[in-house]
Amino acid sequence: MISEEAWAKQRFLVLHDYGMGGVWWWVHARSAREVLETFAEVEVVDAAEAIDRAEGWDLEEIDIDAPTMPAGLDLLHAKRQEQRRLPGFGALAVRTIVYLRRRWDGEDDVDPAVYLMEIGSDGRRLRQVELAEDGDAVKSDPDDWPFNPPIVDLFDPELKESEISRDEFEAAWQRARAENP
């Protein structure tokens, strides 16, 4: 039997980063993993300085078991519920490192390319190789990026189709030139 204390909820600072900004909430849940399994495309922020800053923001507080969610979080909850029904849900979330191949079709004034990415357990890039259509290959890492937010939701079942092997990533990494020589 599990004691009531073992299932006590804690307050987690949760962020949905939509690229040019973010939406924040305090979510009361049994674990950070429960938050990630319940809401798509969110991050549980655990940096002490961020938590201290957020204390003064007057953020909405939500119980993870509430029957309704506030605007914004409701859509992320509904998306996660849909994903849970699909094969591959959470398959990559148990990994320490994941290797992915993702195509960029040239939106936002960025040329079309294929990106091979090494992703950490928090959804952030560790290393990346950009394969341009002309055959050029450029490697980069966090020292080359001004920001490095989580770029993938490792619970997303569609990511499983983008997975590549470590060997494929490493071979491309070895062939690629440095972004800033």
Per-residue pLDDT tens digits for 102-121:
998 766 677 778 999 999 99
Residue 130 φ/ψ, nearest 5 degrees: -100, 120
> Considering the domain boundaries, does residue 89 fall inside one?
no
Residue 76 sits in the same domain as residue 105 = no
130/157 same-domain check: yes
Asked if the model's pLDDT at residue 133 lies above 70, the reply is yes
pLDDT band at 165 (very low <50, low <70, confident <90, very high): very high
Asked whether residue 26 is domain-assigned, the answer is: yes
Q: How confident is the model at residue 129 (pLDDT cuts 50, 70, 90)?
A: very high
Q: Any bridge partners for residue 12, and if so which?
A: 27
Residues 131 and 72 in one domain: no
Q: Domain limits at 118? A: 97-178
Last residue of a domain, one of 53, 84, 115: 84
Q: Are 41 and 153 in contact (CB under 8 A)?
A: yes
Of 55, 84, 113, the residue at which a domain comes to its end is 84
Provide the number of structural domains found in the chain: 2
| 91 found inside a domain | no
Q: 11 and 78: one domain? A: yes
Same domain, yes or no, for 114 and 79? Answer: no
- C-alpha 61/C-alpha 150 separation (Å) is 23
pTM equals: 0.86
Whether residue 67 is found in the same domain as residue 120:
no
User: Do 118 and 70 share a domain, yes or no?
Assistant: no
Query: Which residues are within 8 A (CB) of 152 and not within 5 positions of it... i.e. 6 or more apart?
Result: 98, 100, 119, 123, 159
